[in-house]
Amino acid sequence: MYTSTVGCIGLPRCERGKIIPADETTPVEPTQLSNHYKRSKWEAEQIAIELAAQGHPIIIVNPTAPIGPRDVKPTPTGQIIVDFLNRKIPAYVDTGLNWVHVRDVALGHILAAEKGRLGERYILGNLNGNLTLAEAFQLLERITGIPAPRHQIPYFVAFGFALLSEIHAKLTGKPPKAPLAGVRMAKYKMFFNPHKAVSELGLPQTPVEQAFKDAVSWFIENGYVRTPLPKPTTEPQP
């Protein structure tokens, strides 16, 4: 079993103004490998594919954007939720992700090991998880009562801020507030189709709203939120 990333899968295409989510067969363009993480994951996946072609028992899984409880660090996707809860997001860029409950991703690994076809790739995501960032913030507003940011900023503004953030990080030794790699990725809507994993593996499809609720509850209960919420959010999860 090799855990890759959807960053190794090509971008969705647009037909008649509609975004068609990418699947396991969508080829990735070299320009998409815009940071060291993506390049290293892609190179590692190529080795896994080669070994599988030689007869080694390898299955590849490509998780999308997992969210949920126990996101200790937090991950980049979890940090979006933490920043929202702490009212640190005044505006947003026109981007999107396929959000999926982290529990489904974990079970997807087990199901791939049990039912997956050797040498195949499986996107571990949610069929209803393709949300723009604006839609994700609106969902968080419904859950928490915190107003979602209403202003969309142009990509070039976000890119310029990221450059300044990286320079400030090098001077201070602190992590950048807006990593350049993340802003480069935000230029595209990372929408994906996990139908293959759902149909072949039986990948669970926890509602995306529940994934956000579980993440919000865990971050609140574990001290990641420093500002009071305007109303109670979710009931504690068992």
* Structural domain span for residue 216: 2-220
Domain count, the chain: 1
The token duo for 142 is: 């419904």
Q: What is the pLDDT of residues 167-187, one digit of tens each?
A: 877 888 877 766 656 666 667
pLDDT digits (tens), the chain, 238 positions: 899 999 999 999 988 889 999 999 999 988 788 778 889 999 999 999 999 999 999 999 999 999 999 999 999 899 999 999 999 999 999 999 999 999 999 999 999 999 999 999 999 999 999 999 999 999 999 999 999 999 998 877 876 876 787 787 788 887 776 665 666 666 779 999 999 999 999 999 999 999 999 999 999 999 999 888 876 544 544 4
Please check whether residue 75 lies inside any domain of the structure. Answer: yes
230 domain residue, yes or no:
no
DSSP line for 18-34: EEE-B-TTPPPPGGG--
User: Quick check: is 126 in a domain?
Assistant: yes
138 domain-assigned: yes
The burial of 118, by beta-carbon neighbours within 10 Å (0-12 exposed, 13-18 middle, 19 or more buried), is given as exposed
Residues 62, 120: contact at Cβ < 8 Å? no
Position 227 in a domain:
no
Peptide bond into 179 cis (omega under 30): no
- How do 130-132 and 96-101 pair as beta strands? antiparallel
SS3 63: strand
| CATH number of the domain that residue 85 is part of | 3.40.50.720
